[in-house]
Chains A and B, each alone.
Chain A
Amino acid sequence: MREELWTPLRESATRFVAEAGAADGFDRARWRRIAALGWLGLAVSEEQGGSGLHICDLVPIVESLGAGCLPEPLIAVAGVAAPLLARIGSDLLPAVLAGERIVVLACGEVRADNAGFLHGTVVAVTGGAEADMFLLAARRPDGAVGLFLVLRDAAGLTVAVTRSIDGRLFADLVLDNVKATPLHAADATSLIDTALVGGALLTVADASGAMDALLIDTIGYLNTRKQFGQPIGSFQALQHRAVDMYLALEEVKAVVEAAAGAEGSGAFTAAVATAKVVGVRAARRIGREAIQMHGGMGLSEELRVGRLFRRLVAGEAHYGDADAHLSRFITLSRSEAA
């Protein structure tokens, strides 16, 4: 049933990526086209101006963007911030869904003082370079986690933009007595957790698209590159390793599908933790093997192999690395057993 829904989304995303060509950095015009396609509100209810689908329905789209190495922060906005804004009923939503304002979630070491001003730092905010506003998670004086809106040009906020390994930009935030608008009265811990789990699932899907592209390129190369008078893909040593890449990718697709099916249930977090651990493991194998099997060409910028490889490395840490997700899996597994 899900496949029926995903097929047109995948087709539309594949077309979009093909038209985008080789992207060099974030592009506002492309962002508005993404908004026009309705992707930013895909996981937002129809009453709130979205399509009424689920976060997991972004999977086929981010897979395509991953394969195309597009830099737009679709996961951070459509997968994380927009559903979160919808959950708290924020009036920012229309501008975000229209692509006029980019809002991303920022979670780090931040506290809110009694007057509601924020202090602290957030490291490596995904989509932070492009954001006009930040949804900041901050510890309040009452011990609860609050959700605050901070404008990019707010006094006391320093936004340091840095390039990541894959060319995408991220931002480090330093908050020194920054005026912020509280968005949510209650403790936002579980709202934020859920949002981050969704982000983690989509990050694996993004990587899955990149891995798919790497495998296609590698198989193609093994079948065309000749040495000793035959295609190098005829050598068993390489065949078996290519199969291990394929198995790893099939596993990633299966765990992403399983996690997508668990969205909204109590099993979602553990399913996403599984997906992230398996996804990172596969990314390491497929990424390094793709380069190795392309030989020197794997290191050349002429091919997309290196670009995809770097995309995979960058994605490993987004929304929790494998180690963090494994720890979470252990905690969940033990509480289930207890």
Chain B
Amino acid sequence: MDGLDNEAQAFRHEVLEFCRDHLPADIRRKVELHLELERDDYTRWQKVLHARGWMGAHWPRQHGGQGWGPRKRWIFEQACMESGAPWLIPMGVAYVAPVVYTFGTVSQQQRFLPGIQSGDDFWCQGYSEPNAGSDLASLKTRAEPAGDHYIVNGQKMWTTYAQWADWIFCLARTNPGGKPQQGLSFLLIDMRSPGVTVRPIRTIDAMHHVNEVFFDNVRVPAENLVGEEGKGWDYAKFLLVAERLIAAETGKARLLLRQLKAVGHKRPAHDYFARRVAEAEIDLRTLEAVCHRLLGRAEGGAAPGVEANMLKIRGTELLQKINELMIDVLSQRGVPFDPLALTPRWNGAPSIIEDSGMVFEFLHGRATTIWGGSNEIQRTIIAKQGLGL
């Protein structure tokens, strides 16, 4: 990879070799074919990483991490993805953990961080609601203080892997009135609490990733409030700035591009197609160069600006571009897509597995420019904070 110094290059190779030797073959196969993964697949891989000391390695040392900077962490995660490792689900290790170790109490840290790092506790994120998407601050889920606990009522939406989660971290309104951003609190809620209901949302890719989560008079102990009551928006923003720096999935783009080229080369030479593939390769190199530049700046101690927003936009646009090129290849074969082919129950033609996996990526990829703050919202943030418009 261009632009890495020798030390970074050596680390990248260390990770690639580790994945080659220690990523379980059945998991790699599922990832490379874009098949359905189960909770256990994700957890098993997390435990492999944990044994190597690479789960939460970007956490500070006093909380069990190794204090990796953003660039090292980016190299690590992208090398894993490129190797066919499963998505390192960020809800626990990357999203809630930094909030807990930065703003939580010592007993919260002792209670939650070990389970996150070992992969034993599965977390999901309770932000979006039916009427609070891009306008997240208008969320309506209420948490009413009642002595030593809160009573939570409301509904979360698009909650990824809520069906597997042990815990959910939520933004809930503890104090109505004032600006929408005020009066929100950051709560940790046990998904097994009475009154929590998870209902799957069917999506166009025919898989089950996202859910609606209902809270019906759920009792949440007051000790599960992180930081101060009413400061939830600040913590959520802290999390977004800290986390989205590595949001560009260049490792996944590398994997997909490799697959595209393998499939594309089976076709007769097609100049226009070849040039578009080359342009996607150039986009990938460009994005990697941008990541280097921005992460280098962040490690140099520059105040976080709009880098994360930028990487989110370009990373997702690139994935979609590659996905569309793959559809161009598959369209000549009728765009085969049988969701059953993505499950262990499939007993039809093996070729349908590969094709369906790519079509799944294409369909699922449409979500990338919407989730985590739509790309339109990202552009609005850059316009205001980056360009001063």
Contact = CB atoms under 8 A, between A and B. Distances in A.
Given A219-B389, A253-B293, A254-B293, A329 B281 contact: yes
B292 interface: yes
B3 interface: yes
B293 A240 contact: no
Given A223-B389, A258-B2, A262-B2, A239 B274 contact: no
A3 to B, nearest CB: 9
Interface stretch (B29-37, B337-345, B380-388): B380-388
Contacts of B366: none
Given A242-B383, A258-B289, A333 B281 contact: yes
Nearest to A1: B5
A155 interface: no
Contacts of B278: 326, 329-330, 333
Contacts of A254: 286, 289-290, 292-293
Interface residues of B, number: 29
Given A246-B386, A250-B310, A236 B380 contact: yes
Interface string B354-389: 000000000000000000000010011011101111
Contacts of B384: 239
A255 interface: yes
B313 interface: yes
A149 interface: no
B386 to A, nearest CB: 7
B293 to A, nearest CB: 4
Nearest to A267: B2
A162 B153 CA distance: 76
Nearest to B383: A239
A247 B314 contact: yes
B279 A326 contact: yes
Contacts of B388: 219, 223
B241 interface: no
Interface in A70-91: none
A295 B152 CA distance: 53
Interface of B: 2-3, 261, 274-275, 278-279, 281-282, 285-286, 288-290, 292-293, 310, 313-314, 376, 379-380, 382-384, 386-389
Task: For the complex of A and B, list the 6 residue pairs with the smallest distance between their C-beta atoms, beginning with the closest.
Answer: A239-B383, A258-B289, A254-B289, A233-B389, A254-B290, A243-B379
29 contacts: A219-B389, A233-B383, A233-B389, A236-B380, A236-B383, A239-B380, A240-B379, A242-B383, A242-B387, A243-B379, A243-B382, A251-B286, A253-B293, A254-B292, A255-B289, A257-B289, A257-B292, A258-B285, A271-B285, A274-B286, A278-B282, A278-B286, A326-B275, A326-B278, A326-B282, A329-B281, A329-B282, A330-B275, A337-B261
